[in-house]
Amino acid sequence: MNGFNFTERVRRSLQIAREEAMTLRHDYVGTEHMLLGLCSEGGGVAEAALTNLGVNLENVRTAVLQIVKPGQADGVNDTSPGILSTIASTIGLGGSGTELPYTSRAKKALELSMSEARELHHSYVGTEHLLLGILREEKGIAAQVLASMGMTVPGVREEVVRLLSGADPKREQHATAQPKAPPIEREAAITLVVEHPDGRIEAKKFRHSGEAVSFLRSLEY
């Protein structure tokens, strides 16, 4: 855990995961709750990557809730030491006395998220690393839902790297969408030959593609 900083979005996502588990009356936190937390928190690189790859977070949430059924437990105390206790303490989720234990698959997903951060040479764990960790775990409900939507580790990682390239990834929680630059009108020598209904043939030359398109749209017979 030393050297890693969980972004505010990840902290909030894991807090929501616990709340989702309690709402569903589950006495544990699984990868499905982690994914629900990630979807509920929204924003960040994870959402941008999924959106760019054609996945809507609301659809992900719906798919998870169609699989996961409410339980009857009221929750349990987490008294087991280990990496999850350290993580909870580090990100400010511990000490309440009502901690829910993470499943082995959820633990693995968190460990893999830190592994992703190391492999990408990042000193923080962001939503993108959490998403990749959930996918790399493979066998949990969350990974299966994402896989059913066409998500793969290589594909998501490639999109994450693309999104982070040229930017400061440590500012994930403060990132805002940048306006797209207007398209550049390029010069081009375009000649159009038009045959009119009366048999007359007309050739017109344009320097810009936009002018040629406007001319064609003005032809109405």
Quickly state the pLDDT bin for 82 (edges 50, 70, 90): very low
Tokens of 105: 């698959």
In this structure, the answer to whether residues 59 and 163 fall within a common structural domain is yes
Which residue type occupies 189? A
Give me the chain's average pLDDT, please: 78
Is pLDDT of 14 > 50? yes
Indicate whether 11 and 92 sit together in one domain: yes
Q: What is the pLDDT of residues 27-50, one digit of tens each?
A: 999 999 999 999 887 778 999 999
Does residue 160 sit in the same domain as residue 102?
Answer: yes
Shared-domain flag, residues 79 and 101: yes
Question: How many residues belong to the chain?
Answer: 221
> Both 33 and 54 in a single domain?
yes
Range of the domain at 196: 187-218
| Strand (E) or helix (H) holding 153 | helix 153-164
Q: Is residue 182 assigned to a domain? A: no
Least confident of 40-44, 57-61, 103-107, 133-137: 40-44
Contacts of 24 (CB under 8 A, 6+ apart): 33, 68, 70, 71
Render pLDDT for 110-163 as a digit per residue (tens, 0 to 9).
Answer: 999 999 999 999 989 999 999 999 999 999 999 999 999 999 999 999 999 999
* Contact assessment for residue 134 and residue 29, using Cβ atoms and an 8 Å cutoff: no
Closest among 116, 119, 120, 158 to 136, alpha carbons compared:
116
Does 86 lie in the same domain as 9?
yes
In a domain, 81, yes or no: yes
Following DSSP, what letter does each residue of 101-139 receive, concatenated?
A: PBPHHHHHHHHHHHHHHHHTT-SEE-HHHHHHHHHHH-S
181 in any annotated domain: no
**Count of the separate structural domains present in the chain:** 2
- Looking at the structure, do residues 136 and 81 belong to the same domain, yes or no? yes
Angle between the N-to-C axes of helices 44-52 and 57-67, in degrees from 0 to 180, rounded to the nearest 10: 90
Question: Do residues 21 and 98 share a domain?
Answer: yes
* Residue 50 sits in the same domain as residue 120: yes
- Compute the C-alpha angle 12/17/108, nearest 5°: 105
Residues 121 and 195 in one domain: no
Q: Are residues 138 and 211 in the same domain?
A: no
